[in-house]
Amino acid sequence: MMDHPTALFVDAGIQASKYFNVGMFAILIFDYFITLETESEWVWHRRWTFVRFVFTVSRYLPFFAIGMTFTGALRTQYYPGESCVRFGQASNVLHIICILAAEGLLITRIYASWRSKRLLTFLIVFPVICFAVSYIISDTPLIFNSKNTTSINIPNPGHCLFVGGRNNVYEYAALLLYELVLFCLMLYIRFSKYGNAVGLLQRTFFNDSARYMICIMIVSSFNIILTMAPPVTWVSITDSPQIVIHSVLASRILFNLRASEGQTHIHTLTDISELQFGGGQFSTVVYGV
């Protein structure tokens, strides 16, 4: 006799998390279509560079990452003997790659404004240390152990229940610290090196980057609260917001830079990776597309 599918447990927190993540997926799709014309104007038909590749990853990989979250959220049954562990691990890896791609673009923007090898080393090493420490701490039982992400009263066959773990709070805290440090660093570069001598392209660069980091810090703060304060079944509500905000804002920074370039009638022989800002002192490798 064949085994019949077993329905998953229905909990208010789990249902709210499902609806929220499905909604975030819809926002990502909506944003893509309203910016598709802009992307075709400023990105398509440009030669491929490393930075354009990173941009493409940050722009399109979230559809697969959040699509997997979407699939997990809509799941209402499981089959005996089935395991969702590998599916969840793959989804987590894609989420991490999406954030790394968007943050990689941020690193190139900050580096382009100063062009220092020491700064570049710091921009690469600092986030590695932050997230390595956060991962080690989150995996240490003596500090905080939330391997069991569900209450013992909630069945979780095959680990297919749409729930998260409170140990994610350390990753959110590391991201918050990282963005805060880079925000302060960017402000220092902005006022110490350029003062009031900024043009349209420079203002676009600094203002959009500042908005990007402030939004990430706000979302990270809310994720920390939502991970620690409510019951554990509500934790998965934080799965998608980081990915969506990273992808949307990283894309818009590129589009705005290109639009500003067009408005100021600045032309180069190659591409924006060699564009000179404000009299040739702000050579950017921000977006080689």
CA distances in angstroms from 115 to 102, 188, 189, 196, 213, listed in the order given = 20, 14, 11, 20, 20
User: Is 6-283 a CATH 1.10.3470 domain?
Assistant: no
Of residues 29 and 273, more confidently modeled: 29
Between CA 53 and CA 277 the distance in angstroms is 23
Segment 13-26 mean pLDDT: 85
Over residues 61-76, the pLDDT tens digits come to 999 998 888 887 777 6
| CA dihedral (202, 206, 209, 215) positive or negative | negative
Q: What counts of helices (H) and strands (E) characterise the chain?
A: 8, 4
- What value, to the nearest 5°, has the Cα angle with vertex 179 and ends 241 and 115? 130
Quick one: pLDDT at residue 12?
76
Burial of 105 (0-12, 13-18, 19+ CB in 10 A): buried
Over residues 73-97, the pLDDT tens digits come to 777 656 566 677 788 778 888 888 9
Over residues 155-202, the pLDDT tens digits come to 666 667 777 777 778 888 888 999 999 899 888 887 877 766 566 777
Residue 43 in tokens: 């990105």
Segment 41-63 mean pLDDT: 87
Residue boundaries of the structural domains of the chain: 6-283
% of the chain exceeding 70 in pLDDT: 74
- CA dihedral angle for residue 113, residue 117, residue 122, residue 124, rounded to 10 degrees: 90
